[in-house]
Amino acid sequence: MTTRDALHRLIDALPDAALPEAERVLVHLTAPSVVDPVLQAFLDAPVDDEPLSAADVAAIEEGRADLAHAQRLSLELYEARRSRTG
């Protein structure tokens, strides 16, 4: 049995859930010309599928409302407010 045959057997034996990870690894082996490994790590990272908490949703809504009313803070004012509350 050749190495290629052994790899085919291993891939065929993988559970479906492991296939995306195996694909990511094999793609890197077939395309070694990746220029920026940090960028590639970001591109390969799984999608963040955690549900938003109530606090997350409230912060997003607050930010959208501020944008809708053109309410913006300078970095200095934001940091000053944050230091008083944090």
The per-residue pLDDT of the chain, averaged, comes to: 85
What pLDDT, in 10s, does the model give residues 13-35? 999 999 988 888 888 777 766 56
Q: What is the dihedral of CA 10, 16, 18, 20, to 10 degrees?
A: 110
Alpha helices in the chain (DSSP H): 3-13, 19-30, 37-44, 54-68, 75-85
Instruction: Find out whether 22 and 14 touch, Cβ atoms under 8 Å.
Output: yes
- Kindly state the tokens that stand for 25: 């690894």
Whether this prediction's pTM lies above 0.85 is answered by no
Q: What is the pLDDT of residues 55-70, one digit of tens each?
A: 999 999 998 988 888 8
What does each C-alpha distance from 23 to 5, 20, 26, 33, 77 come to in angstroms? 17, 5, 5, 17, 47
Question: What is the radius of gyration, based on Cα positions, of the chain?
Answer: 23
Kindly indicate the confidence band of residue 42, based on its pLDDT and cuts at 50, 70 and 90.
confident
